[in-house]
Structures are given as structure tokens and as C-alpha cells.
Homo-oligomer: A and B are copies of this chain.
Amino acid sequence: MTSLIRNAWYVAAWSTDIDDELRRFIILNEPVLLFRRSDGGVAALEDRCPHRLLPLSKGKRIGDAVQCGYHGLTFGADGICTRVPGQDKIPQSAFVTAYPIVEQHGIVWIWMGDPERADPARIFTLPQFTDPRWHAHHGDALHIESNYLNVAENLVDPAHVSFVHPTTLGNAASENVPVHVSTEGPAITAWRWIRDAEPIGFFKAFGDFTGNVDRWHYYHLYAPSIAVIDFGSADVADQIAEDDRDAGNRIFALHFMTPVTENYTIDRWMHLRNTAVETAEASEKIDAMFRIAFAEDKAILEAVHQEEQAPPKRRPIRIAIDRGPMVYRKRISEMVERERTDDASAETNGSFVYHD
């Protein structure tokens, strides 16, 4: 059975990725053509001519319309066919799906499900996007040969950090610090504070810490596939309170996971920070550290995904640190079932505004 959720906003691309050119993407197993219209908005069309199935991305633009590269059928940015060479009448079935698109904070969001349920108010955002004390920096797209569930659950799993990212995001000091998990809000949240410990590699590079720090990791996972990692450090002497994290060096790492197929996921990552907000150099350095860490995740996740394809010898075990991932997978199962049965009474899937 599929694990893909259709009724949700997904990140199709960064805004800077989309221009006049016809570009093909695969999202939830469907080919999607994206391009920027002359009015500056982004058009998203099914990338498959309904006639002989050629991807429209192999055709060419005629103004804001797209002409198929095989027989010249032409479709407006709304998906409606406007020309069939060789005949005057245009059949009603000559159209391609046009997907709802919202562009916000430099991110192109797409809705692949029932268009009637596409509510822009449910698109993920953070108040810090518009707060001048914060800087938002769009990172990159990590391609991972894995089901998106593995990628997502890794982001509500602080326990892996000590073992997978010993040089960047974790170190041995955190191995045995217990993880708290809250499953009450729209997000599943796993977090821990590590008090009076050596700074992790990340903040050795960016903080000016001379001694030990108090540090935190809050992993918020929104089903189906958005993660917010709120992490930071403050000098032990500051005696920082748990709800006063803005007083420390604080970073939100955002992960927008878009399932390409059941076996391939693109994780588009970016961050917001309240430190070094004015310097582009800091963004580059932070990206560089993230790249190291995410390459470590990719190696693990692809190996796990590959091993999952083999016939199981026995049922995998679940342990204490799995509580977040287990709740996540249960939520996904419920979403899949709601979509399978078209249960309109239940709440729409989708994303939500972050709250501390």
C-alpha cells in the first residue's frame, strides 16, 4: 500500500529555481512542469500531453502557454487546451491538470491532492520569516534514495545525533541524556537539554563560547513531511530558561521533504538564525556544516532503505527512543486511510504555523 499523502502542501522548489524555462519535476510519482508566467506567478501543469503522452517540458513556450513538442497541442497556464493543429474543434478531454501553487518566503508550495481542499492558510510558516532580528537562508536540496518516512522520522529522533553526527551536531556528552516527547500538538516534538557540556562542533565554529554551554535540540515533525529543528546554545553562566531560547544562539533548521516516488525523496533544507544575521559568510559556513551532517544522514538512510527491501528475517524491535517515530508512523497510517476512504469528515491534512 502506498505511503504517499496527496492532500498536503509540498515544497516543489525554491523560488529562485523557477524562471522562464520549462522544468520537469516528479512529485508523488507524478510528472509536474513548472515555469514562471509573464505576470511573475508560477504555473504548475501535469507534465504529460493527453494526446501521445510526451512531457510538455520537451515542448516550448508560446507566451504563457505551452506547445507540445510532438504535434503542437497547446495548453494555457490553467491547463486548458487552446489549440489542436489540424482541426478547429478542441475536444473537452484536451486538458492537463493544473496544480494549486502558493509562493511564500521564497518557497514554491504545491498541492497535489483534491484542489477543493487546498487551503493556503495551512501552509507552513514561522513568524521569524518576517522578523528583522532574524535571517532566513535557503540552503539546498538533498536527494535521498529512500522512502520519505525514513527521512522524516530521522528528524524527530534526537538520539541518532550522537552516533551519526559526532563531529557536527552531536557529541558523546549527549548519548545518555533522556529525550522528552510530546505528541499533543499538530507537531510531534522530541527534545532534550544538555546542561553544562562542551559545545558541539557547530557552535564551536559559530559561537564565541570559551567554556561549557547549555544546549538544546527541539525536533518538531509535522506530518506528512515537514520538520523544524530548533537548536542552540547559551553560556552556562547565563542560566538560560527553557522558554527563553531567543536569548541564546538559536537556529531553526527547516526540512521540507517532498516524496518523488515511494523510494526517492528530496529534502529541501534551509535555516533561520538570530545570530550573525548580517553576514553572508555565516550562511555559507552554516551550509557547509549542514552539508557534512546531511551527507551523514543520507548514507544512513539509503542503507536503511536498501536493507528494508530485503525479506525480513524477523520483526524489527522498537525501543524507548522510538516514541516520536512511532507516533509519526501512526499518524501517516491514519492519513493514508483517510485518503483511501476519502473521509471528508476528518481534519484536512497539511502543515501548520509553528509555535514555541
Contact = CB atoms under 8 A, between A and B. Distances in A.
A254 to B, nearest CB: 23
Contacts of A51: 316-319, 322
B50 A317 contact: yes
A58 B303 contact: yes
Given A72-B175, A175-B72, A54 B300 contact: yes
A85 B170 CA distance: 14
A1 B343 CA distance: 37
Contact of A314 (B50, B84, B160): B50
A299 B54 CA distance: 10
B163 A70 contact: yes
A313 interface: yes
B163 A69 contact: yes
Q: How many copies does the complex hold?
A: 3
Nearest to A158: B86
Nearest to A312: B53
B71 A160 contact: yes
B159 A48 contact: no
Interface string A199-229: 0000000000000000000000000000000
Interface in A44-70: 46, 48, 50-55, 58-59, 67-70
12 contacts: A46-B313, A50-B314, A51-B317, A53-B316, A54-B303, A70-B163, A72-B159, A84-B319, A85-B321, A86-B319, A87-B320, A93-B314
Given A84-B320, A85-B159, 5 more contacts: A50-B316, A53-B316, A71-B163, A86-B176, A86-B320
Interface of A: 29-31, 46, 48, 50-55, 58-59, 67-73, 84-87, 91, 93-94, 97, 157, 159-160, 162-164, 175-176, 178-179, 299-300, 303-304, 307-308, 310, 313-322
